[in-house]
Amino acid sequence: MTYYFLDILQKCVIARLTDDEQAQEIIAALGSRYGVIETEQAFTEKEITVPTGPAAGGMDTTPDYGPLVTREIAYEPFVVADVFTDYDIPAAEVNYNASRYDPETDAQGFVRDFTRILNTPPPKDFLRVTTDATDDNPPDGYPDIPADGASTCRIMIQKANGWTGEDMTGPEDNELIQISTEAGRLSAVQANLVDGYAEVILTSSSDTVITQVRVHDPTETLAEGSIQIQFA
């Protein structure tokens, strides 16, 4: 059995591991870039000929042996470019960090490429906040109501899909939300969504001010929303 040290990002072998026990140690602790091919096949060295440096949108062409040197792993430089194109390597012979990569195999089960798994969390569903107040006193980008301590507007809250922005209107969209304002007063400071929707009434203060109305989910499952209203 021969152990080849694999640069997954470049999709090429860069070294042959010469100590079987150390090779197994490497396999047991693979990081985010490298893998090990464990095979009876004999590969032939092939230099990288297609530019893959940063200017070409890829990686440097010079193999990085730092991970092997740092761990004092016995190896010999052995570069095999295009290893998944030129050789039929069963998925079972390729060791890699499964939390970082998904192998792409052909109909016969041979590895042809790797897809990197992005660990970015999916976008949260969110709370969209709108109002029936209009921007006319004067037009300045802020919806407004008179600053008389009595005028009101509706604050309308809609749960929306984090991927598409579409309204979520199912019976299961019934989260408890909390509402706060910096000025004026609200008809309620918390409410349960009903089919993804809720609304409260904001009453102005007698002071001329721009207030932020904030809506959030105390469990932080939903991304919060807000709107600014001007008492003019």
pLDDT at 51: 53
CB 221 within 8 A of CB 134: no
Cα separation of 181 and 74, whole Å?
65
Q: Which residues of the chain fall short of a pLDDT of 70?
A: 49-61
User: Cβ–Cβ contacts within 10 Å for residue 173, how many?
Assistant: 18
Superfamily (CATH H level) for 126-231: Immunoglobulins (2.60.40.10)
Q: What percentage of the chain carries pLDDT values higher than 90?
A: 79
pLDDT at 58: 45
pLDDT at 28: 92
- Are β-strands 152-160 and 185-186 bridged in parallel, bridged antiparallel, or unpaired? unpaired
Residue of 56, 66, 61 lying closest to 10 (CA atoms)? 61
Residue of 59, 62, 53, 3 lying closest to 30 (CA atoms)? 3
pLDDT at 50: 59
Show the beta-strand stretches assigned E in 28-92.
34-39, 75-80
Answer left, alpha or beta for residue 149, where phi above 0 means left and psi between -120 and 50 means alpha: left
3-state secondary structure of 54: helix
> What are the structure tokens assigned to 17, written together?
């591991």
N-to-C CA span, the chain: 80
3-state secondary structure of 83: helix
Cα separation of 74 and 145, whole Å?
75
Chain mean pLDDT for the chain:
92
pLDDT at 125: 97
Domain segments of the chain as ranges: 2-116, 126-231
